[in-house]
Amino acid sequence: MFLRILMIVGLLGLSCEIVAKDVGGKTVPISGVFSGYLLGFNTNPAFIADRCDPPEGKFAWAVTAFEGWGTMSHLGESYMFAEHCSYGILANGEMDGTYGEGEITTIAANGDILLGTYTDGASLSGPPVIGFMDYVTFVNGGTGRFKYASGEGVEMGAVDLNDNSFTVQMTGVIAYKKK
């Protein structure tokens, strides 16, 4: 089942056309594949209140964190850490599989850091294997050649709650030279 979801997610990723908004400099394609682990759900109300500002009609029930390793074009072998606010619906108090306010840090083989945010996350299937998709925006403030990064993409993957493993594929465009 996990492999079937990854195949579907991969095909969706290949069919998505990504266009960068307000990107300075020349854009180039970027893609990567990471695998790693769901680190857990921080359900501390004070931490959630400090970190999350959910959309109207939803509540944040946790800050969810992941770490992984893989290969990304323009970065080589890389490490990534991501966390986001997981949402529920106020009317019925249930989790609805949506998430946002995500932050992703990717550290290249040479130590350069690429920063991004991600939004509009949605779960595509139910437990124990959860497919997901969201939109990534690369932001300036990283280090080295990614200090002035911009661009965007889509990431899709799956989390297996049986062992907390995940795989994610990212595809998009990036510009990383000063405007």
The pair of three-digit structure tokens given for residue 31, joined into one six-digit string: 């893609």
Identity of the residue numbered 173: V
CA distances from 59 to 43, 56, 88, 99 (A): 12, 8, 5, 10
- Give the pLDDT confidence score for residue 91 in this predicted structure: 79
Q: What is the pTM of this model?
A: 0.85
Domain boundaries, the chain: 2-175
**Averaged in consecutive runs of 10 residues, what is the pLDDT profile of the chain (179 residues)?**
42 41 73 97 97 94 97 96 94 86 97 96 90 96 94 96 97 85
Alpha carbon distance 2, 7 (integer Å):
9
Strand partners, 131: 158
- Give the pLDDT confidence score for residue 176 in this predicted structure: 85
Strand partners, 151: 138, 174
The pair of three-digit structure tokens given for residue 150, joined into one six-digit string: 């911009």
Identity of the residue numbered 70: G
Full DSSP string of 8-48: HHHHHHHH-----SS--S--EEEEEEEEEEEEEEE--HHHH
